[in-house]
Amino acid sequence: MSMENAIFLQKNVGFCNALKRICIEGFEYSTLYKRIEKMIADEEKKEEKNEKLLVDLWECNLLLSYQLDSKMLSICVPCLLKFALKKEEDEETPKEVEMALLSLSNIKFYRAEKELYLNEIKEIIRNHQEHHNLTRLAYQSAWQFLMNRSLVYRDLKGIVMNELHFAREVGKELEEFAKCVDWKKEKEEEMGKETKEKLVLMRWFHVLFIFFGLCNLWNEEFIGLVGGIAWVLRAAKENHKKISEKYIYLLGNAAKRRDVKVEGLLKIGVVDSVLEEIQQSTLNEGVTFQSCHFFLKISERLKEKTDNDELEEGNRKATKMEIFEKLEEEGYDDTITSYHEFLHLLKVNKIDFDAISLDISEYFVNV
């Protein structure tokens, strides 16, 4: 096999693995990795470097490796970011930029000076927000790279929320994405296969999970983001149970946050979206569990009295009554109550709930 074909093969294997978030642990100890590393070192020594070859080799390593050493990352990250900032407008550029950003998104924990990446990744994200020049996977990958860095540097929170307006922009992205996927056609033609579009939606879950750990605001932008998540949930209903499960989990994460207004979740249709999900004729364990968990968190929040503010207390009681009526109308009020008591019993007796396997779909009677 020629070197060109070998690199092409490795990049495509790595692309599939990264898209599905499959890690190859120990690749960095293989002879193949060491050979690629030597080729990179030899190319870096040349006065006239083959930049395209270096990009290809870096992508091979990042897409196939679980973790590279910080010295190598400090060289390859600026190189790939520079490549991702390409301004040429031709047929191949979007695909090449997508591969570069996907490779960077595969870097998990990496401590580096912000000067090596921050200005470039901000420019890439802003360019897309203004000109829509990235593929959906490339845009998701750019955010994944930045969010992975925020796990190490918490002070990136202000940049993510205030400068780049993550909640506002990603809320719109999710809504548009959910609308553009032909779910019915994909379901019929793919017969349950993971299409690229669905895998990108699954990848957004991991970015959103990190963001929910950073954000402590309930404003118009956050409301828009939660609305975008609800859009995906409604679109995936009866079409993709794994996406439904993950996105209900995110809504449960939102429901348990003290800064999130329960009446706000009700107003933008989040409660109705989860109710619609559990009214389906077929449910799997994951969707059932996450739906129960969502309403458990809602019920816990609605128990919180706000004696210091009469208006807030009035809103709480009104919201509690409206949600109770919705659950009572569908016959789920006793289900949620019994589930709440069951979970309380497990906590009191210090039983690990995750270790217990139950057919919890029997908690719901489908109407």
Q: Three-state secondary structure along the chain?
A: CCHHHHHHHHHHHHHHHHHCCCCCCCHHHCHHHHHHHHHHHHHHHCCCCCHHHHHHHHHHHHHHCCCCCHHHHHHHHHHHHHHHCCCCCCCCHHHHHHHHHHHHHCCCCCCCCHHHCHHHHHHHHHHHHHHCCCCHHHHHHHHHHHHHHHCCCHHHHHHHHHHCCHHHHHHHHHHHHHHHCCHHHHHHHHCCCCCHHHHHHHHHHHHHHHHHHHCCCCCHHHHHHHHHHHHHHHHHCCCCHHHHHHHHHHHHHHHCCCCCCHHHHHHCCHHHHHHHHHCCCCCCHHHHHHHHHHHHHHHHHHCCCCCCCHHHHHHHHHHHHHHHHHHHHHCCHHHHHHHHHHHHHHHHCCCCHHHCCCCHHHHCCCC
pLDDT for 307: 59
Mean pLDDT by 10 residues, the chain (367 residues): 87 91 81 89 90 92 80 88 84 90 87 85 95 94 93 85 93 89 57 74 93 81 90 83 89 83 85 81 75 82 70 77 75 59 53 48 41
pLDDT for 142: 97
pLDDT for 189: 45
pLDDT for 364: 43
pLDDT for 54: 93
pLDDT for 185: 55
pLDDT for 363: 44
